[in-house]
Amino acid sequence: MEFKKDNTFFKGRLKSVTYAYKGAAKLISTEHSVMVQFSLGIIMTIAGFYFHITSTEWLFQILAIGLVLSVEGLNTAVEKVADFIHPNYHERIGFIKDIAAGAVFFAAITAIAIGLTIYIPYIQNI
Per-residue pLDDT tens digits for 41-74: 999 999 999 999 999 999 999 999 999 999 999 9
pLDDT at 80: 97
- Apex 56 CA angle, 55 and 58, nearest 5: 65
Domain boundaries, the chain: 32-125
Provide the pLDDT for residue 3.
Answer: 63
Residue 9's pLDDT band, with cuts at 50, 70 and 90, is confident
Active-site pick, 2, 57, 72, 91: 72
Angle at 21 between CA 20 and CA 23, to 5 degrees: 65
Does 2 carry a binding-site annotation?
no
Higher pLDDT, 9 or 29: 29
- The reply, when asked if residue 57 is annotated as ligand binding, is no
Q: Does residue 91 have a known ligand-binding role?
A: no
> Catalytic: 72?
yes
* Distance in angstroms (rounded) separating the CA atoms of residues 23 and 77: 10
The verdict on whether residue 19 carries a ligand-binding annotation is yes
Pick the closest to residue 64 from 31, 113, 121 (CA basis).
113
Contact 12, 6 (CB under 8 A): yes
Enter the CATH code of domain 32-125: 1.10.287.3610
